[in-house]
Chains A and B, each alone.
Chain A
Amino acid sequence: MSGHEEHSTHSQGFYLLIGAVLLILTATTVAAAFVNLGPFNPVVALLIATIKATLVVLFFMHVKGASEKLTGAVVVSGFFFLAILISLSLADYMTRAWR
């Protein structure tokens, strides 16, 4: 193997930076939980969680910059089916009171 073929790993400093951003986002979501935002508390918390998860998937799990595009397609399809499961189930349960 010719050493650096097409490695998706980043520098150590970059990983530490992403780790620091994840810790800051954790602190932010905890702080936001103590502020009364009414119906937006869950929205803010889940939005921050999704940003954190995206950072982990793209940079720690090397989906961004992966030479195999099929891996990206599998990852996206996995989360897409999860979105279908949750959104369609909630679309049912959240609208039952309407009659």
Chain B
Amino acid sequence: MQDSQATNGSATLTAYDHENPALRHHFADAQQQKNAASLGMWLFLVTEIMFFGGMFCAYLIYRLAHFNAFAAGSQQLSIKLGAFNTAVLIVSSVTVVLAVKAAEAGKRKLLTGYLVVTVLLGMTFLVVKGFEYAEKFEKHHVPGPTFNFTDKFDDNGQQIPVNPKEAELFFSLYFAMTGMHALHMIIGCGLFSTLAVLAWKGHYTPGYFTPIENAGLYWHLVDIIWIYLFPLLYLISRHS
């Protein structure tokens, strides 16, 4: 270790140092530094997967136990708005990969543009989510003292009674899961706004754009969580 540092290693490191000021001295080369940053980000994302995974698991178990109420609650959600938001997030994921590509090519204006479009799409998602939440407040479908669920489960015209306590459980999980997801979206919008400003100022070069890549990984994971939330909450209880 000492030997290689004294002879071969230090020469290489110095050469890299001059070429790329973003390279830290404890990495052999830029590729290794990028791999380490990406691995660290993925470790964080795995904790996020476990965090949301706990809620997904709780949802599946309670859906199993109180199927009628969960189906009735699910049918109160708008598939139209949910599908629109899914499409918005998918398009935003595309603009994120294109932003990473623009950063890699050193196109500053294009990079800033993609980051701004990503933030706008994220905000579109949040506004639509806001309208959905507002509707839940109007219908008294927000868990709490004013919760009211008189709608009966309509199946071919016949009515099946629904325990409002069980429906409240569905909406508790709905707000916990979509609320945590929306919080992640708000954080993502703040993150990408900051990156857009820094990108405009020219902080990122083809030799160093790790923050863009790692923020992109975060954005994609939040997208993936919605990819599962949409069918679980909106779609799978339309029949039976």
Q: Report Cα–Cα, A71/B46, bound state, in Å.
A: 11
Q: Report Cα–Cα, A70/B64, bound state, in Å.
A: 37
User: Contacts A38-B239, A86-B60 hold; do A71 and B90 have CB atoms under 8 A apart?
Assistant: no
Q: Report Cα–Cα, A18/B7, bound state, in Å.
A: 47
Find out whether the CB atom of B227 lies under 8 angstroms from the CB atom of A52.
yes
- Which residues in B have their C-beta under 8 angstroms from that of A18? 94
Find out whether the CB atom of B104 lies under 8 angstroms from the CB atom of A74.
no
- Which residues in B have their C-beta under 8 angstroms from that of A56? 93, 220, 223-224, 227
- Which residues in B have their C-beta under 8 angstroms from that of A42? 231, 236
Query: Which of B50, B64, B101, B236 touches A46 (beta carbons < 8 Å)?
Result: B236
Which B residue sits closest to A33, measured CB to CB? B235
Q: Report Cα–Cα, A31/B90, bound state, in Å.
A: 18
Find out whether the CB atom of B65 lies under 8 angstroms from the CB atom of A93.
yes
Smallest Cβ distance from A64 to chain B, in angstroms? 13
B96 in the interface (beta carbon within 8 A): yes
A98 in the interface (beta carbon within 8 A): no
Find out whether the CB atom of B235 lies under 8 angstroms from the CB atom of A74.
no
B164 in the interface (beta carbon within 8 A): no
Query: Which of A27, A36, A61, A68 touches B220 (beta carbons < 8 Å)?
Result: A61
Smallest Cβ distance from B27 to chain A, in angstroms? 12
User: Contacts A34-B238, A49-B228, A52-B227 hold; do A7 and B104 have CB atoms under 8 A apart?
Assistant: yes
Q: Report Cα–Cα, A29/B209, bound state, in Å.
A: 36
Find out whether the CB atom of B98 lies under 8 angstroms from the CB atom of A12.
yes
Find out whether the CB atom of B65 lies under 8 angstroms from the CB atom of A36.
no
Q: Report Cα–Cα, A87/B91, bound state, in Å.
A: 32
Question: Main secondary structure on chain B at its contact with chain A?
Answer: helix
Find out whether the CB atom of B220 lies under 8 angstroms from the CB atom of A60.
yes
Which residues, 1 to 59 on A, are CB-close (under 8 Å) to B? 1, 3, 5-7, 9, 12, 15-16, 18-19, 22-23, 26-27, 29-30, 32-34, 36-39, 41-42, 45-46, 48-49, 52-53, 56-57
- Which residues in A have their C-beta under 8 angstroms from that of B53? 82, 85-86
Which B residue sits closest to A77, measured CB to CB? B46
Which A residue sits closest to B103, measured CB to CB? A9
- Which residues in B have their C-beta under 8 angstroms from that of A49? 227-228, 230-231
Query: Which of B57, B98, B220, B231 touches A89 (beta carbons < 8 Å)?
Result: B57
User: Contacts A9-B104, A33-B236, A33-B238 hold; do A82 and B49 have CB atoms under 8 A apart?
Assistant: yes
B36-59: contact bitstring with A at CB < 8 Å (1 yes, 0 no)? 001100110110011001101100
Which residues, 213 to 238 on B, are CB-close (under 8 Å) to A? 216-217, 220-221, 223-224, 227-228, 230-232, 234-236, 238
Q: Report Cα–Cα, A47/B49, bound state, in Å.
A: 18
Q: Report Cα–Cα, A36/B236, bound state, in Å.
A: 10
Find out whether the CB atom of B87 lies under 8 angstroms from the CB atom of A23.
yes
12 contacts between A and B (CB under 8 A): A1-B207, A6-B31, A9-B100, A19-B93, A33-B234, A45-B232, A45-B235, A49-B231, A56-B224, A75-B46, A78-B46, A82-B50
